[in-house]
Amino acid sequence: MPDHKCVSTIVFDVNETLLDLTTLAPFFERLFGDAHVMREWFAELILYSQTLTLSGRYTPFAELAGGVLRMVAANKRVALHEDDISGLKSLIGSMPAHDDVIPALNKLRSAGFRLVTLTNSAPSPSPTLLEKAGIAGLFDHHFSVAEVGKYKPHPEAYRLVAEKLGVETSELCMLACHVWDTIGAQAVGYRGAFLARPHNSVLNLPDVPQPNFVSDNLSDLADQIIAAGSPRP
């Protein structure tokens, strides 16, 4: 693993880290009579995205989301219609940004950091989900795992960003609310910044890399990153 240089670029996960996944809960309440099924569906979505990658296969994230919804509905013996699938896709495509996102992004930009996104979601025509959320313009670049056909935390997904930006992975910091994402990024030389959104915690194991920065508040996490040493123009 390369020696850490000063971090110049913060790489943001999108779904749940920047965009509010909880806005999908009413859909699951209506469909299953239990809003908590949303968490079950999302966990299965991540599981099967990683399963496809390990199996050498790739299906776009939105299609996979619909397929996993069908699977969860079948497991629970709930009748599912195509309108339900399209309805979920529409909701995913219009999730709002968390309230703490814009202030934290502006703070990091003012400190001289380059901000980019790396998402499991496939690219979409304008208006994109980040444009709809009003935050697309706060980032310098947007990257998708679709470019390598492998979902995070595959190493190629993280190396894609370094290659496209022409930097070492040690100059990048992955900011995510999923610790599997920071673990994957740290494995190829990134630093990791973990945002403890509800239902997300660190994994404390002896041989598992711990995030370099941890907070349940995005503004505080930004302050930690800035205090560790930031490039200014």
The mean per-residue pLDDT over the stretch 200-214 comes to 95
* Global pTM value: 0.95
Q: What is the pLDDT of residue 29?
A: 98
Q: Residue 5's pLDDT band (boundaries 50, 70, 90)?
A: low
What mean pLDDT value characterizes the chain? Answer: 95
Q: How far apart are CA 176 and CA 163, in angstroms?
A: 20
Residue 11 has pLDDT above 90, yes or no: yes
**pLDDT-wise least confident of 32-36, 53-57, 123-127:** 123-127
Whether the Cβ atoms of residue 193 and residue 225 lie closer than 8 Å to each other: yes
Residue 230 has pLDDT above 90, yes or no: no
State the sign of the Cα–Cα–Cα–Cα dihedral 113, 119, 123, 126: negative
Q: How far apart are CA 191 and CA 196, in angstroms?
A: 16
Give me the percent of the chain exceeding a pLDDT of 70. Answer: 96
For residue 153, give the 3-state DSSP assignment. Answer: coil
CA dihedral 7, 8, 9, 10 (to 10 degrees): 50
Give me the percent of the chain exceeding a pLDDT of 90. Answer: 94
Residue 1 has pLDDT above 70, yes or no: no
Q: Quick: pLDDT tens for 62-120.
A: 999 999 999 999 999 999 999 999 999 999 999 999 999 999 999 999 999 999 999 99
* DSSP symbols for 105-151: HHHHHHTT-EEEEEESSPP-SSSPHHHHTT-GGG-SEEEEGGGTT--
**pLDDT-wise least confident of 23-32, 156-165, 172-181, 221-230:** 221-230
Q: How far apart are CA 84 and CA 66, in angstroms?
A: 9
Query: How many CB atoms are located within 10 Å of the residue 44 CB?
Result: 19
Q: What is the pLDDT of residue 233?
A: 63
> Which of 58, 27, 52, 54 is closest to 41 using CA atoms?
27
DSSP 211: P
Residue 36 has pLDDT above 50, yes or no: yes
Q: How far apart are CA 188 and CA 60, in angstroms?
A: 24
**Per the omega criterion (within 30 degrees of 0), is the bond before 153 cis?**
yes
Q: At what angle do helices 37-54 and 61-75 cross, to 10 degrees?
A: 120
The mean per-residue pLDDT over the stretch 131-150 comes to 97
State the sign of the Cα–Cα–Cα–Cα dihedral 158, 164, 169, 175: negative
Residue 2 has pLDDT above 50, yes or no: no
Residue 127 has pLDDT above 90, yes or no: yes
Report all structural domains of the chain as residue ranges with CATH numbers, in order of start: 9-19+96-227 (3.40.50.1000), 21-92 (1.10.150.240)
Q: What is the pLDDT of residue 231?
A: 66
